[in-house]
Structure 1
Amino acid sequence: MTKTDDLARHAEKMAKKKAAREKIMSTKTDEKGLVIVHTGKGKGKSTAAFGMIFRHIAHGRKCAVVQFIKGGMATGERNLIEERFSDICEFHTLGEGFTWETQDKARDIAMAQSAWEKAKELIRDESNTMVLLDEINIALRYEYVSVADVVTFLEAEKPEMTHVVLTGRNAADELIEFADLVTEMEMIKHPFRSGIKAQIGVEY
């Protein structure tokens, strides 16, 4: 086979793929606000979610973030949003760290409940096209917030075109079943296991 024949065969193959892809895409015409879950033991759950928040900001779309569990440590995402995009993205950090840090379960539950109330308020506001509930899966796992309440609320009260993103390990089966899009981050290798601490610009 000559090089010309090879290029012609490749072009024909790609043309068929393009036609097949366009046929599939022509059937995908619906739009809706998605319930999106990022879970798993691997790194990148919040990072990916913030990528979507920054896409919304870049498109001039109003959005909001509620952080469960995570405490007052400064992060690049929060600093950037609060300093430059607070007019279009509300940011609420309503956790104080994990129970082994606060050593006060009642306080942790109260903070998680407060975060959930703020989350509901922001989701009900139809001007928000996306609301990120960062690390809510941890609060659900420890039953600081009821997963049944979360699913019932999203089903009954989430505006039709609002996207809601829920992150954190060990997402509940009920939430996974209800969600439109679920991604599990798989950990293959992590520098923490080699004694390397969380680093600025990578983890926060």
Structure 2
Amino acid sequence: MSENADAASHRAKKQKIKAAREKMMETKTIEKGLVIVHTGAGKGKSSSGFGMIMRCIAHGMPCAVVQFIKGSRGTGEREFLQRHFAEECRFIVSGEGFTWDTQDRDRDIAAARAGWEKAKELIRDPEIRFVLLDEINIALRYDYLPIDEVVTFLRDEKPAMTHVALTGRNAKPELIELADLVTEMTLVKHPFREGVKAQQGVEF
């Protein structure tokens, strides 16, 4: 096949794909606030959530973060958002650190409850369009919060056009069932297994 014929064949294939995609897109007409779950053993759950926060800020969409569990440790995303985008994105820290650090179940439950109460307030706020509940799945996994209460609130009280993203390993089946979008991060390789400590700018 000549170079011109190869280029023409490629163009024809892409035109066919483009036409099929445009036809498919015509059927996608629903707009709604999504419940989004990022879970799984692989890295990237919080990173993906904060990527959506960046998008919201760029689009002028007021947003908020409630960070569960890892609150005692400084993170790049928290420093960046609080320093540069405090008006665009409210940032609430409700955790006191990883559960193996606090070693106090009652305090962990109290912190999770305080974070959830603030999260409900932010989700109900008609001005806020996107709320990231970072690591809430960990609080749910350890029953610091009742999964039925969280699911019922998201189903019955979340404003119709508000997006809520929930991150963390081991998302509960009830939450996965409710969600509109679920992504499971799969661990293939991680440097921690080779003795490499958490890296600034990568993990935090």
TM-score in terms of structure 2 length? 0.98
Letter in 1 for 2:125: D
1:136: which partner in 2? 136
Structure 1 stretches lacking a partner, 5+ long: none
CA distance in 1, matches of 2:49, 2:71: 18
- State the Cα RMSD in Å: 0.7
Aligned length: 204
Q: Per-residue displacement from partner, 1:100-139 (whole Å, max 9, x unpaired)?
A: 2111111110110110000000000011100000000000
1:35 deviation in Å?
0.1
1:98 deviation in Å?
2.3
Letter in 2 for 1:111: A
CA distance in 1, matches of 2:158, 2:109: 23
Deviates more, 1:73-82 or 1:128-137: 73-82
1:118: which partner in 2? 118
How does 1:50-199 map onto structure 2 within 5 Å?
A: 50-199=50-199
1:15: which partner in 2? 15
CA distance in 2, matches of 1:200, 1:98: 18
Q: Is contact 2:66-2:92 (8 Å) kept?
A: yes
TM-score in terms of structure 1 length? 0.98
Deviates more, 1:4-13 or 1:192-201: 4-13
CA distance in 2, matches of 1:203, 1:45: 11
CA distance in 2, matches of 1:89, 1:100: 29
SS of equivalent residue, structure 1 residue 171: coil
CA distance in 2, matches of 1:159, 1:180: 15
Q: Which runs of 4+ in 1 moved over 4 A?
A: none
Letter in 2 for 1:12: A
Q: Per-residue displacement from partner, 1:142-172 (whole Å, max 9, x unpaired)?
A: 0000111001001111000000000000000
Q: Is contact 2:42-2:186 (8 Å) kept?
A: yes
Letter in 1 for 2:39: T
1:99 deviation in Å?
2.4
Letter in 2 for 1:161: M
1:9 deviation in Å?
1.2
2:40: which partner in 1? 40
CA distance in 2, matches of 1:126, 1:118: 14
Q: Per-residue displacement from partner, 1:39-65 (whole Å, max 9, x unpaired)?
A: 000000000000000110111110000
CA distance in 1, matches of 2:16, 2:99: 56
CA distance in 1, matches of 2:100, 2:14: 56
